[in-house]
A and B are shown apart, each in its own frame.
Chain A
Amino acid sequence: MLQADFPVLSALIFFPLLAAIALVFVRKDETIRMVTLAAGVVECLLLLPLLGFDLSTADFQFVERHVWIAAWNIQYYLGIDGISVLMIVLTVLLLPLCVLCSWSYIGRRVKEFHICLLLMTTACVGVFCALDFVLFYIFWEAMLVPMFLLIAVWGGARRRYASIKFFLYTLAGSTLLLVAIVAFFIAGGTFSIPDLMSQNFGLPFQQLTFLAMALAFAVKVPMFPFHTWLPAAHVEAPTAGSVLLASILLKMGTYGFLRFCIPITPAASEFFAPLMIVLAVISIIYGSFVAIGQQDMKKLIAYSSVAHMGFVTLGIFVFTFQGIEGAIMHMVNHGIITGAMFMLVGLLYERSHSREIEDNLGLSRHLPIYMGFLLLFSLAAFGFPGTNGFFSKLLVLIGVFEASYFLGVLFIIGLLLGLAYLMRLLLAVGWGTPSKGAGWQDINAREWAYLLPLLAFVFYLGLAPGRALNIMGPSIENLLHNFEQHRQVSDNASEDILRTWRQPPPALIDPLAKDSPNAALLPRTATLVVDHAVTPRTN
Chain B
Amino acid sequence: MLNFTPSLIIPELYMALLLVALFVQTVTDSIKDRTDWLAYAALGGVVVAALSMSQSGMMFYDSYQIDGLSQFFKLVIALGLAICVLNALRNTTLGKTPRADYFFFMFMSAFGLMLLSSTVELFTIYISLELASYSLYILLPLRNENPRAVEGAIKYALFGAVATAIGLFGVSYIIAGQHTTYIHELATMNWSFAEQPMALIGLGLFALAFLYKLALFPFHFWAPDVYQGASNETAAFAATLPKVGAIVVLVRLMGLDPGVEVKIVLAVFATLSMTLGNILALRQTDLKRLLAYSSVAHAGFVVMGLVAGGAYGLAAASYYALVYVVMNLTIFWVITRLADDGRDIQLHDLKGMHHSTPLLAFVLAVAAFGLVGLPPTGGFTGKLFLLNAAWGEGFYLLVIIAAINTAIAIFYYLNMVRHAYTMDQATPSVVPSTVIGASVALALALGVLYLGLMPQGLFDLLLQASGALLL
Q: Which A residues lie at the B interface, using CB under 8 A?
A: 68-72, 109, 112, 134, 137-139, 141-142, 144-145, 148-149, 152-153, 159-160, 163-164, 167-168, 171-172, 175-176, 178-179, 182-183, 185-186, 501-505, 507
**Interface positions of B from 355 to 373, Cβ below 8 Å from A:** 365, 369
The 4 closest A-B pairs by CB, nearest first: A138-B375, A172-B407, A175-B403, A152-B422
A179 near B400 (CB under 8 angstroms)? yes
Contacts of B267 in A (CB 8 A): none
Contacts of A182 in B (CB 8 A): 384, 387-388, 391, 399
**Interface positions of B from 368 to 398, Cβ below 8 Å from A:** 369, 374-376, 380-381, 384-385, 387-389, 391-392, 394, 396
B384 near A134 (CB under 8 angstroms)? yes
The one of A68, A175, A185 in contact with B388, judged by C-beta atoms closer than 8 angstroms, is A185
Report A192 CB to chain B, min CB distance, Å: 15
Q: Does B404 contact A (CB under 8 A)?
A: yes
Q: Which B residues lie at the A interface, using CB under 8 A?
A: 310-312, 315, 354, 365, 369, 374-376, 380-381, 384-385, 387-389, 391-392, 394, 396, 399-400, 403-404, 406-407, 410-411, 414, 417-418, 421-422, 455-456, 459-460, 463
The one of A68, A70, A145, A502 in contact with B365, judged by C-beta atoms closer than 8 angstroms, is A145
Report A113 CB to chain B, min CB distance, Å: 12
Q: Considering the chains assembled together, what is the distance between the CA atoms of A149 and B422 in angstroms?
A: 8
Q: Considering the chains assembled together, what is the distance between the CA atoms of A505 and B463 in angstroms?
A: 12
A186 near B392 (CB under 8 angstroms)? yes
Report A132 CB to chain B, min CB distance, Å: 12
B407 near A168 (CB under 8 angstroms)? yes
Chosen A-B contacts, 28 in total, with CB atoms closer than 8 Å, are A69-B381, A69-B456, A70-B456, A72-B384, A112-B354, A137-B375, A138-B375, A139-B375, A142-B375, A144-B374, A148-B417, A152-B418, A152-B421, A159-B422, A167-B410, A168-B411, A172-B407, A175-B403, A175-B407, A179-B391, A182-B384, A182-B388, A183-B391, A183-B396, A501-B396, A505-B312, A505-B388, A507-B312
Contacts of A186 in B (CB 8 A): 388, 391-392
Contacts of A137 in B (CB 8 A): 375
A179 near B387 (CB under 8 angstroms)? yes
Contacts of A71 in B (CB 8 A): 312, 315, 456, 459-460, 463
In the complex, which residue of chain A has the Cβ closest to the Cβ of B384? Answer: A134
B375 near A504 (CB under 8 angstroms)? no
Q: Considering the chains assembled together, what is the distance between the CA atoms of A333 and B24 in angstroms?
A: 76
In the complex, which residue of chain A has the Cβ closest to the Cβ of B411? Answer: A168
A501 near B394 (CB under 8 angstroms)? yes
A160 near B422 (CB under 8 angstroms)? yes
In the complex, which residue of chain A has the Cβ closest to the Cβ of B361? Answer: A112
Which of A71, A134, A149, A167 is the most central at the interface, judged by chain B CB atoms within 10 Å of its CB?
A71
Contacts of B387 in A (CB 8 A): 178-179, 182
Q: Considering the chains assembled together, what is the distance between the CA atoms of A142 and B459 in angstroms?
A: 23
A138 near B422 (CB under 8 angstroms)? no
Report A145 CB to chain B, min CB distance, Å: 6
Q: Considering the chains assembled together, what is the distance between the CA atoms of A466 and B439 in angstroms?
A: 55
B388 near A178 (CB under 8 angstroms)? no
Q: Considering the chains assembled together, what is the distance between the CA atoms of A68 and B381 in angstroms?
A: 12
Report B464 CB to chain A, min CB distance, Å: 10
Asked whether A505 and B422 contact (CB < 8 A) given A69-B455, A71-B459, A71-B463, the answer is: no
Contacts of A134 in B (CB 8 A): 384
Q: Considering the chains assembled together, what is the distance between the CA atoms of A188 and B396 in angstroms?
A: 16
The one of B311, B365, B407 in contact with A507, judged by C-beta atoms closer than 8 angstroms, is B311
Q: Considering the chains assembled together, what is the distance between the CA atoms of A313 and B308 in angstroms?
A: 39
Q: A139-B375, A160-B422, A175-B404 are in contact. List 17 more A-B contacts (CB 8 A).
A: A69-B381, A69-B455, A70-B460, A109-B354, A134-B384, A144-B374, A149-B422, A164-B411, A164-B414, A167-B414, A168-B410, A176-B403, A178-B384, A178-B406, A179-B400, A501-B394, A505-B388
Asked whether A138 and B376 contact (CB < 8 A) given A172-B407, A175-B403, the answer is: yes
Which of B310, B375, B380, B460 is the most central at the interface, judged by chain A CB atoms within 10 Å of its CB?
B375
The one of A153, A168, A172 in contact with B421, judged by C-beta atoms closer than 8 angstroms, is A153
In the complex, which residue of chain A has the Cβ closest to the Cβ of B388? Answer: A182
Q: Considering the chains assembled together, what is the distance between the CA atoms of A68 and B455 in angstroms?
A: 9
Contacts of B417 in A (CB 8 A): 148
Contacts of B389 in A (CB 8 A): 505
Contacts of B388 in A (CB 8 A): 72, 182, 185-186, 505
A505 near B392 (CB under 8 angstroms)? yes
Contacts of B374 in A (CB 8 A): 141-142, 144-145, 171
A175 near B406 (CB under 8 angstroms)? yes
Q: Considering the chains assembled together, what is the distance between the CA atoms of A71 and B467 in angstroms?
A: 13
Q: Considering the chains assembled together, what is the distance between the CA atoms of A149 and B354 in angstroms?
A: 12
Report A338 CB to chain B, min CB distance, Å: 26
Report B203 CB to chain A, min CB distance, Å: 25
The one of A163, A176, A504 in contact with B422, judged by C-beta atoms closer than 8 angstroms, is A163
In the complex, which residue of chain A has the Cβ closest to the Cβ of B406? Answer: A175
Contacts of B399 in A (CB 8 A): 179, 182
Report A111 CB to chain B, min CB distance, Å: 9
Contacts of B369 in A (CB 8 A): 145
Report B347 CB to chain A, min CB distance, Å: 13
Report B25 CB to chain A, min CB distance, Å: 43
In the complex, which residue of chain B has the Cβ closest to the Cβ of A72? Answer: B388
B422 near A69 (CB under 8 angstroms)? no
In the complex, which residue of chain B has the Cβ closest to the Cβ of A503? Answer: B392
Contacts of B312 in A (CB 8 A): 71, 505, 507
Q: Considering the chains assembled together, what is the distance between the CA atoms of A35 and B396 in angstroms?
A: 49
Report B119 CB to chain A, min CB distance, Å: 27
In the complex, which residue of chain A has the Cβ closest to the Cβ of B407? Answer: A172
Q: Considering the chains assembled together, what is the distance between the CA atoms of A78 and B380 in angstroms?
A: 20
Contacts of A138 in B (CB 8 A): 375-376, 380
